Amino acid sequence: MYSRSTGCPFITVAKRVLNDYGIPFRELYIDQDAAAKSRVLSWTGFLSVPTLVVAQPGQLLPISEPDFLERGRSPRGLDRGTMITEPNADELSRWLLKHGFIAELARD
């Protein structure tokens, strides 16, 4: 998960969802890592966090190129295949299910 070290409601939601499902994740801070910042800017056109990617264990890049994002279009909540940016809890849960990180959606 590409993140930042300062507070953000989208990061809080993403961490809660990942923790609720018991999904381990690695956090890369774009405000402390120039390469991570450059990747997020390239992928999203913005410094949008959290940006979550499906990657091989220990790797930083998505397992395949994320779906195209039109220049200037907000990436918020868009399932781009191996990437999702600034998702709400439902969007992130569905994305996790799609990629096999969870077997079913939690019920409230």
pLDDT of 100 > 70? The answer is yes
Amino acid in position 104: E
Q: In the 3-class helix/strand/coil scheme, how is 1-17 assigned residue by residue?
A: CEECCCCCHHHHHHHHH
Residue 78 tokens read as 């868009």
Q: Model's pTM, two decimal places?
A: 0.95
Residue 99's pLDDT is what?
97
* Pairing label, strands 28-29, 83-85: unpaired
* pLDDT tens column, 35-76: 999 999 999 999 999 999 999 999 999 999 999 999 999 999
Class of domain 2-98: alpha beta
Task: Give residue limits of the domains in the chain.
Answer: 2-98
The span from the CA of 38 to the CA of 20, in Å, is: 30
